[in-house]
Copies of this chain bind each other. A is one copy, B any other.
């Protein structure tokens, strides 16, 4: 008889129920692929009364995490609590006690990932987190195994389904406001009652921290990332971007600068060419585009959230542990090690790229001259421009949307400051970055 892999699951909500359900529904398939069975020994949640939509034995449901962490027979802890504490304590305790950990907690990893990976390695156990980024898409395995022979040059991802749903709707229904679509998304359950975490880009930044750390072997944390959400995007931006051949997507971006090895890591709404593979990723779907040498560009697409996709990822990690193919043992591991505290970040000021700028100017002679002069003084040239004037004879301001040629971010910001100080400027400039 082979020893089973005994599992303790902490955090028995919607995702936990999906894991338990899938383990039951796919048990034949799972067991046929494994040399030893997966056994769900203990479930744990503060709420021990609500009946979950999954087949489980109520006697296995404990109210205190000690029932899992204190049980020497439990080999692996599945942490689905989310957030920093008490999840951090649970994961640390499990690793310190020589238990493997499988987690979907991007928030925790974006703050403590390198430290926890080092702890796992020192204890000779696995810390697996396929479910923490892009749901069911096996992007962590792609970076750690499938692309492991490559130098990664960049990773760009549409990592938040809520934001992508909102931006897709705004691109399909001309003129519909952000606020209106957000309300609809909340009604449909695609956005939380408090949507801040998603729409301000924090969720995307947590996932980007994990991808960037793995791609470059650096200890890149949430605090290292420039983050901008999607709340300031107006229908006019979507329309103008489309006219210029772009979609607007909230991207998590991590790029290595070949000249000095520094890394830029940023989350912001981005103009993506409609001809790029990310340009057609619509609705609640996620997608990650990886550029590596020698593989070139590869892309990974699927559902980034939900009980089914997350269960697929969590159980693939459990199966890797049961089969010992996860590469978690010290010295038997084909992946980059992330050294705690080690990183080389590129300041945002040093970015060189194309920019989309929306300016609101008095609809009078001289407005264009003002803009043109301010940009020229910073050696920024204009690639394309669309102006939408006010109604004939009315004193409406004109909206001017510009895409610049490649230029430096600090210089662009300097030029925009000059324009904003001009009497003809009627509102703060709105800037979006462009990825070609």
Which residues of A are at the interface with B, using a C-beta cutoff of 8 A? Answer: 18, 22, 25-26, 29-30, 32-35, 130, 136-138, 141-142, 145-151, 277, 280-281, 292-303, 306-309, 311-313, 315-316, 318-320, 322-327, 331-337
Contacts and interface: CB of A to CB of B under 8 A. Distances in A.
Contact of A33 (B26, B138, B293, B334): B334
22 contacts: A29-B149, A33-B148, A33-B333, A33-B334, A130-B146, A136-B294, A136-B296, A137-B146, A138-B298, A141-B142, A146-B313, A149-B311, A149-B312, A295-B309, A298-B300, A299-B302, A300-B301, A319-B334, A322-B334, A323-B333, A325-B327, A325-B334
Contacts of A316: 145-149
A309 B294 contact: yes
Nearest to A141: B146
B312 A147 contact: yes
Contact of A333 (B18, B22, B325): B325
A296 B303 contact: yes
Contact of A136 (B26, B145, B295, B336): B295
Give the residue among A18, A26, A150, A326 with the most B Cβ atoms within 10 A.
A150
A148 B307 CA distance: 16
A154 to B, nearest CB: 14
Contacts of A149: 22, 26, 29-30, 311-312, 315-316, 318-319
A151 B29 contact: yes
Nearest to A315: B149
A26 B151 contact: yes
B138 A146 contact: yes
Given A145-B325, A149-B315, 16 more contacts: A22-B149, A35-B332, A136-B296, A149-B318, A294-B307, A295-B302, A295-B309, A298-B301, A298-B303, A299-B299, A299-B302, A300-B300, A319-B334, A322-B334, A323-B333, A325-B333
Contact of A312 (B137, B150, B299, B313): B150
A336 B26 contact: no
Q: How many copies, total? A: 2
B319 A26 contact: no
A155 B198 CA distance: 32
Nearest to A136: B295
Contacts of A142: 138, 141-142, 146
A136 B151 CA distance: 13
Contacts of A292: 312
Nearest to A312: B295
Nearest to A36: B331
Given A22-B149, A149-B26, A151-B29, A298 B136 contact: yes
Given A316-B149, A325-B325, A137 B298 contact: yes
A15 B304 CA distance: 35
Given A29-B151, A280-B277, A333-B35, A294 B323 contact: no
Contacts of A337: 32
Contacts of A324: 332
A308 B294 contact: yes
Contacts of A318: 149
Nearest to A311: B294
B303 A297 contact: yes
A299 B318 CA distance: 23
B26 A150 contact: yes
A422 to B, nearest CB: 42
A281 B22 CA distance: 32
A224 to B, nearest CB: 22
